[in-house]
Amino acid sequence: MKRIEYFVTQTVTFQFLKLLRKQAFEFFETFGRMSVRLFEVMKYILTGQFSYRHIIEQCSRFAIDSLPITLTIVAMTSVILAVQIAPEMVKQGGAGFIGGLLAIVTVREMGTIMTGFAIISMIGSSMASEIATMKVTDQVSAMKVLHVPPIKYLFVPRVIAGALMMPLITTVASTVGIFCGGFVSSLTSPEVTGLCFINSVKLGLFNRDIGIMLLKASCFGAAIAHISSSCGYDAEGGAKSVGIATTKAVVWSFIGIVIIDYIFALWFYF
């Protein structure tokens, strides 16, 4: 019987199921911890227990530090789309719709998603590694000894800064992306003049789309800050755990904003 049990445990199927079980357990455990901490964060925010100075510091970090890479990513993505879309639209007689199409794609999806990816790569990973380092070097334990709530001090300013700054960054990046796309469209297709492109943007873009973009961007910013902080807070051990926490924060943040984006798509556009 023991020999049969031994051979069964060595099979690929058993190892795969064992790994799947472990991953599922870690997923629900991480999700549960994030949910509990989210309630704590909301409690501090709703009761006004936060430091404006710390929020301003995190706002500067969120907006100013990440703006160059965000503008570059969104602008280049818009240029790539314009290079591919503009000639085909002109062939089909749709030169007057290029601006509206590019604006809708940028405002509804591309601008927000690409901005979120840039923020995750630069700011989210930085937040996770910073808090993870504090955790493994016992700085968080020292805060608890001094009766300073870590959630209030570490999480709340970052979440508020993310919710406030992400819409601003997304607006700037989307505007730059649309203008870059229009400039490239006029270069690749002479039929697309600047006036034609701007009129098309005015006709295709509505205030509702801009409002949804700002709300979604705010949710993205808060989610990235909370997930990154939470993953960093879970770090235990040494330097290796800091790297694991940073990687985990990036992966979870990508998953989080994709799920939020799907919810917004169903809620507002389905």
pLDDT digits (tens, 9 = 90+) for 137-158: 888 888 888 888 889 999 999 9
Inside any domain, residue 139: yes
- Return the structure tokens found at 187: 């270069």
Least trusted range by pLDDT, from 84-88, 150-154, 254-258 = 84-88
Dump the DSSP string for 180-246.
HHHHHHHHH-TTS-HHHHHHHHHHH--HHHHHHHHHHHHHHHHHHHHHHHHHHHT--SSHHHHHHHH
**Digit-coded pLDDT (tens) for 181-233:** 888 888 887 777 878 888 888 888 888 999 999 999 999 999 999 999 999 99
Inside any domain, residue 158: yes
Domain ranges, residue 157:
34-265
Inside any domain, residue 147: yes
Inside any domain, residue 129: yes
- Return the structure tokens found at 129: 């590694």
Inside any domain, residue 1: no
Inside any domain, residue 13: no
Pick from 124, 132, 129: which is nearest to 150 by CA?
132
What pLDDT, on the 0 to 100 scale, is given for residue 158?
93
Inside any domain, residue 124: yes
What pLDDT, on the 0 to 100 scale, is given for residue 184?
86
Inside any domain, residue 8: no
Domain count, the chain: 1
